[in-house]
Amino acid sequence: MNEVFDTFSTKRQVRKICLLAVGLAVVALISFGLGRYFASPAAILQTVAAKLSGAEAADPKLAAALFNIRLPRIIIVILVGMGLSVAGASYQGMFKNPLVSPDLLGASAGASFGACLALLLNLGNEFIQLFAFTGGLAAVGLVMFINRIIRGDALLGLILAGILVGTLFTSGMTIIKSVADADDKLPAITFWLMGSFAGAERSDVLPLLIPMIAGFALVLTQGWNLNVLSFGEDEARTLGIHTGRTRTFVILGATLLTASSIAVAGVIGWIGLVVPHLTRSIVGPNYKILLPTTMLTGATFLLIVDNVARLLYSVEIPIGLLTSILGVPFFIFIYRKNLRGWS
């Protein structure tokens, strides 16, 4: 009887994952046709067919808009949505706390400091991304170093070190903003910190994809270990789980995902906090299912929000502001719905 129930439950979970994958594909196709450069569905299909066949497009401007602007942006939005969501879900599992987000260990503050420093030095876009990515890694590396020095409770030490390092890098970022040129560099820094995909280019896809793949590989392989960790450290060790190694893999993977996401898009809050809760209400707390499902949900959610940011007003709204505005009431709703399951 239990085997029949497990088979039914597995099929139901697979069905949900397939529906979410189809939903993401539909939203991506719709997003491909949305934009200020109007084109009918027939013209878009003709342009895509010409691209696939190698023929010259009837409307070169439309082809440039579709394949040089919209397609890279859609790919980057999907990757960032997946990365931030999985990073948040894995941290919530590792710290056994539903209020944890990907910036807990200072990755967001470190990446922001690096980007602000590059903007202050008037460096190019590739250096801004490099500085942001390096800053995020450096912040989390410093957190782990401080935690090792403290030698207390592993999880509590990480949280305290994250607060300290986050405050340190935030202070550095404030200093940079205070000395930046108010007419030139300060507005650029402020806009970057609000988060946006407006500058997404084809050249950004590959540098983002490489650390993303590594981060996903590290985190997704820890699904079973995160399930066991939810029972406590002692129980996990009894079952043969190397808790220190699991935490290291999760932290490294989540840091790669968070730092690379912030490097290419700026600070985008609430995705890593809200989306895992939404996904948990759909498929349950099993991290072997939750993590891949969170990837699909996060990508779909961020893609929808990005479409709103692009089309809601004549000037593109920073997506970080929209995710915050939508995230607060959405989180309250999800929190009330799942409160009993967390207590």
Distance in Å from the first CA to the final CA of the chain = 30
Task: Give the integer Cα–Cα distance in Å for 243 and 343.
Answer: 23
How many domains would you assign to the chain?
A: 2
**Do residues 215 and 289 share a domain?**
no
Residue whose C-alpha is closest to residue 253's, from 293, 208, 213 = 213
Say if residue 212 is in the same domain as residue 124. Answer: yes
Do residues 136 and 114 lie in contact, with contact meaning Cβ atoms separated by under 8 Å? yes
Please tell me the pTM assigned to this model. 0.92
Last residue of a domain, one of 232, 251, 267: 267
Same domain, 274 and 198: no
- 14 part of a folded domain: no
Give dist(CA 166, CA 147) in Å, integer: 14
How confident is the model at residue 1, as a pLDDT? 40
Please check whether residue 182 lies inside any domain of the structure. Answer: yes
| Residue 88 predicted with pLDDT over 90 | yes
Q: pLDDT tens digits for 159-195?
A: 999 999 999 999 999 999 999 998 889 999 999 999 9
Give the per-residue pLDDT at 330.
Answer: 78
The pLDDT of residue 239 is above 80: no
Question: Which range marks the domain in which residue 119 is found?
Answer: 93-267
Cβ neighbours of 34 (radius 10 Å): 14
* pLDDT score of 339: 57
Higher pLDDT, 231 or 204: 204
Inform me whether the pLDDT recorded for 3 exceeds 60. no
Residue of 281, 299, 303 lying closest to 290 (CA atoms): 281
pLDDT band at 248 (very low <50, low <70, confident <90, very high): very high
More confidently predicted of 135 and 61: 135
CB 241 within 8 A of CB 181: no
Cβ neighbours around 127 below 10 Å, total: 16
Give a yes or no: residue 275 inside a domain. Answer: yes
Smallest Cα–Cα separation from 228: which of 248, 207, 243, 218? 243
Which of 224, 247, 267 finishes a domain?
267
Q: Is the pLDDT of residue 154 over 80?
A: no
CA Rg value for the chain: 21
Instruction: State yes or no: pLDDT of 342 exceeds 60.
Output: no
Query: Has residue 52 been placed in a domain?
Result: no
Q: What pLDDT sits at residue 9?
A: 64
> Can you give the CATH number for the domain in which 180 is found?
1.10.3470.10
Dist. CA 139–CA 132, nearest whole Å = 11
Q: Looking at the structure, do residues 247 and 343 belong to the same domain, yes or no?
A: no
Residue pair 58/46 in contact by the 8 Å Cβ criterion: yes
Task: Answer with the residue of higher pLDDT: 307 or 238.
Answer: 307
What distance in Å separates the CA atoms of residue 14 and residue 293, rounded to the nearest whole number? 10
Same-domain status, 179 and 280? no
In a domain, 258, yes or no: yes
* 106 and 233, same domain (yes or no): yes
Taking 70 as the threshold, does the pLDDT of residue 4 lie above it? no
For 288-338, the pLDDT digits (tens) are: 999 999 999 999 999 999 999 999 888 889 999 899 888 888 777 766 766
C-beta of residue 298 within 8 angstroms of C-beta of residue 306: no
Helix (H) and strand (E) counts in the chain: 15, 0
* Nearest of 297, 225, 218, 227 to residue 258 by alpha carbon: 218
Task: Looking at 180-241, list the stretches that DSSP marks H as alpha helix, in order from N- to C-terminal side.
Answer: 185-194, 205-220, 223-229, 233-238
Looking at residues 218-238, what average pLDDT do you find?
86
* Burial class of residue 8 (count of CB atoms within 10 Å of its CB; 0-12, 13-18, 19+): exposed
Domain end marker among 267, 283, 306: 267
Residues 276 and 191 occupy one common structural domain = no
Residue 8 pLDDT level (bands cut at 50, 70, 90):
very low
Q: Which tens digit of pLDDT belongs to each residue from 106-138?
A: 999 999 999 999 999 999 989 999 999 999 999
Select the more confidently predicted residue: 83 or 236. 83
In angstroms, rounded to a whole number, what is the distance separating the alpha carbons of residues 203 and 185? 24
Residues 296 and 326 in one domain: yes
Whether 240 and 302 share a structural domain: no
